[in-house]
Structure formats: structure tokens, C-alpha cells
Structure 1
Amino acid sequence: MKALILITSLLAVAFATDNIDIKNEKNVNTDVHQTVNIDNHDNVANVNQYNGWDSWNTMWDYNRGVFAVRLLSKKACVVSRINRNVVPSLEHLNKASQEKQKANAPPPPSMTYTVTKNRVRNVAQFGKHIAALCNNIPTYHATEVQGAALFSSQQGCSSISILRILGISLCGNIGC
């Protein structure tokens, strides 16, 4: 009986869904805040930033190794591969989302992506979570840019910051 209770408890933790709401306390007179939803069963995370027209949503599918960003202002989605050397694991994302950012913390790592001009024809290829996020809106592929090419592609960038632990710039004519 004790073994059954232990197994049930472990399964509940393994398949738990964590929902965290992070208020942006440093900006006065603003309603900017982020929510983080982690589904340990499906190994996905959804981060939403609520900021009026500059709102965005992301879906991180760790099993498939892809993420998508839906930009409200651009009326578009961007899909790319997860760089596991930079992107935090689900465990780190969960921990970071529940902790306050230290005032003297170093700036978060950032990544820049070049967005292709060609639209993705079948978002279902990225799995049900990303398909749900990007369904019925223009969706584009993006490729991470490193080194000198980073400076030549800064035109028309949209930037997002995830929990002050990761910055992403999406550069190109998104939604045009």
C-alpha cells in the first residue's frame, strides 16, 4: 500500500501542470505581466506576455525540439528549433518563474533569428501544441543567427524577453 501511495505521488509530480503569473512590478502605471504554464506530461511550456498590442505568446515543445512565437502586433507566428545550449530546461524555467529576479543579476542570454519570407504551409508538422498556437495565421520559419551576420540582420526586429532569463529577437519582414 505504501508503495502504491509513493508511486501515485511521484506520478502526480511528474505529470503536474504548473501555472505561474508574474507581475511586472518594476514598471509603474503598466499592466505588463507574463504567465507561464508548464505541462510536464507533454514536456511543453507556454509563456504569455500581456501588454496590449505588444502582447505575444510562445510555445516550447521540448519533445519535438521546436518553439513558436505568436506576435499579436504582427498577426503572425514564427517557428524555429530550440537551441538547447541556451534555452533553459523545463525544470529551470519552472524554478526561474517562481523566483524573483535579482537586482544585480547579469543580463540574460539572447538569441537572434532571421525570419524567412516563405510561409509555412502545414503547421501541423510541428505538433498539436504549436499547431494550436499558430492555427489560421501566417506562420514563418526562423533560423538562429550567430556572429557577424547578427549585425546585418537587425532591421525590422521584434524582441521578446522570457522571464528575464532569455531574450529573443526575431528579425525580418514578419507578417508582411
Structure 2
Amino acid sequence: MCTRSPENNRVLGWIKRNLVSWAKEVILPLCSALIVTTVLLGLLLTPALADYNSDTEGNQHSNGNDQNINEFFQKTPIMTKQVSVAGGLQTLTIDRQRRIATVQQEGSQGSWKTMWNYNSGAVATKVLPQRACYISKVDRKQLPSFDELPALADESMSLKGQRQPSKKLTFVTERRIRDLRSYGQDIVDLCRGLPTYNAYVVYGTPYQYNQEACDTLGVLEILGLQYCHQYEQGLNSGPP
């Protein structure tokens, strides 16, 4: 059997007293400092991120119009922003890694969704009232700047429907596309179940088309997309 000597007891007592003293002087102040730092960080970050939330896939959603927040999320892979425009509520989704932007509108003035691929120049749009989908190839310079889309959306929202699209692209539908697989899975998913047509951009003035046979979309009030199904002689295809 082991017994403790008086000397051992004195050593153990000294260790216990010093441990207690060290805990009071070092550990407790550190814990307090960490708590204060956490609270301060929460107070500082909450206003900046108040207009954003994350979905289950980690996408960022915004209802604000602060350009500083757009800069904060400049490196976010996927960002979604809801924008109130004259035609209703539009949802802008930006995939920064693949450089794809989509804008969707659902409302009384018509539901549609358009997808812009800034790598390939492909523009695909489905117009639900017409139950049709259109695929085009455009010069990427004709589209709004990819990096400036969040800021442009904020500007449109701040103008509260008083902004008119500064640019319009007019397309004329051509042949029907039977097999979408060559256009990529994103377009296959967008146009699934709808008659899909090839559409080409028309330029030049004067050009004539039947306004009653056109579907016109105001995308974020920065770009007008017009899809026309019938046209007369005088249309010129190709860049201006």
C-alpha cells in the first residue's frame, strides 16, 4: 500500500493553489475577451449582411441595393438577387464560376426566364404564356457586362420602375429545334417540354416586323428582348 508523506502533501497542495490562481488570472480573462470579441463581430457584420440569406445549397440571396454588399460577394460562386421592377418581381441568379446569368419573372404581366451564357454567347429564353422556348447565339458585347449585373440590378431597383431599357435586341424565330442535347444540360432543363425554336438577331434600319407577333421582355429594365414570329422583307441579319 502506498502512503503519502507530509512532503508529498505539501507539494500537491502547492500545485492545487497555483493552478487555481493561474486559472483565475489567465483563463477567465481570455474567455471574457473571446466573448466580447464575438459579440462585437456579430454587431458589426449583422447590418452588412442583413439583406442576404443562404439557401441549403449555399447560394446567396439579396433583397438590398447596396453596392458594397455586391463587392463583398464578388467571389461568391452563385448569387441570387430579387429585383422589383415595373413588370413585377424579377430574380437574377449569377453563376460566377461558369459565367452564366439567368433572370426570371413571374407575375400577372407574364412569366418568363432567360439564360445568358457569357462564355459561349448563347441566349435561351422560355416564354410561358406562349409556351415556347428560343435559343440564339449573340455577340457577348451586346449583353450587359457580366461583372456589372448586380450593380445594374440595384440601379433599376432604386429607380422603382422609372427606368426604360437602354438597349433592345430583336430576334426572329426560324426553324424548330428537335434535339437540344448539343446546347448543354442547362438549356435542356430550361426548355424541357416546350416547343423550341432557333432565333437570330436582326439589325439595321429601317426594318419591319409585325408587333402583334412579338413577345417583348424587359430584363431588369436594362435590356429589352423582343422575339418576333413573322417578318417582312427588309430585315438584315448580322451586326450593324
Q: TM-score normalised by the shorter chain: which range applies?
A: 0.7 to 0.9
Deviation at 1:150, TM superposition (A): 3.0
What's 1:18 paired with? 79
CA contact (8 A) 1:114 1:153 kept: no
What one-letter code is carried by the residue in structure 1 that aligns with 2:151? K
Matches within 5 A, 1:132-171: 132-148=189-205, 150-171=207-228
Q: Name the % identity.
A: 29
What's 2:149 paired with? 93
What one-letter code is carried by the residue in structure 2 that aligns with 1:22? V
Higher relative contact order (CA 8 A, sep 6+): 1
Distance 1:101 1:147, change over 3 A: farther
Distance 1:107 1:133, change over 3 A: closer
CA contact (8 A) 2:173 2:200 kept: yes
Deviation at 1:149, TM superposition (A): 6.0
Give the TM-score of the pair, scaled to structure 2.
0.58
What one-letter code is carried by the residue in structure 1 that aligns with 2:222? I
Matches within 5 A, 1:52-67: 52=108, 54-67=110-123
Deviation at 1:154, TM superposition (A): 3.8
What SS does structure 2 have at the residue aligned with 1:90?
A: coil
Deviation at 1:95, TM superposition (A): 1.9
Aligned equivalents of 1:106, 1:165: Cα separation in 2: 7
Deviation at 1:43, TM superposition (A): 1.1
CA contact (8 A) 1:53 1:72 kept: no
Q: How many aligned positions are there?
A: 156
Give the TM-score of the pair, scaled to structure 1.
0.78
Unaligned runs of 5+ in 1: 1-11
Distance 1:123 1:150, change over 3 A: farther
Matches within 5 A, 1:40-51: 40-51=96-107
82, 85, 91: which is aligned to 1:35?
Answer: 91
What's 2:130 paired with? 74
What's 2:181 paired with? 124
What SS does structure 2 have at the residue aligned with 1:137?
A: coil
Aligned-residue RMSD, C-alpha: 2.4
The 10-residue stretch of structure 1 (104-113 or 77-86) with the greater mean CA deviation from structure 2? 104-113
111, 127, 134: which is aligned to 2:169?
Answer: 111
Deviation at 1:23, TM superposition (A): 1.8
CA contact (8 A) 1:155 1:172 kept: no
Distance 1:15 1:126, change over 3 A: farther
The 10-residue stretch of structure 1 (143-152 or 72-81) with the greater mean CA deviation from structure 2? 143-152
Distance 1:107 1:13, change over 3 A: closer
What SS does structure 1 have at the residue aligned with 2:197?
A: strand
Structure 1 moving runs of 4+ over 6 Å: none
What one-letter code is carried by the residue in structure 2 that aligns with 1:161? G
Aligned equivalents of 1:55, 1:72: Cα separation in 2: 6
Deviation at 1:121, TM superposition (A): 1.6
What one-letter code is carried by the residue in structure 2 that aligns with 1:66? A
What one-letter code is carried by the residue in structure 1 that aligns with 2:113? N
Distance 1:125 1:53, change over 3 A: farther
Question: Larger radius of gyration, structure 1 or 2?
Answer: 2
What SS does structure 2 have at the residue aligned with 1:85?
A: helix
What SS does structure 2 have at the residue aligned with 1:21?
A: strand
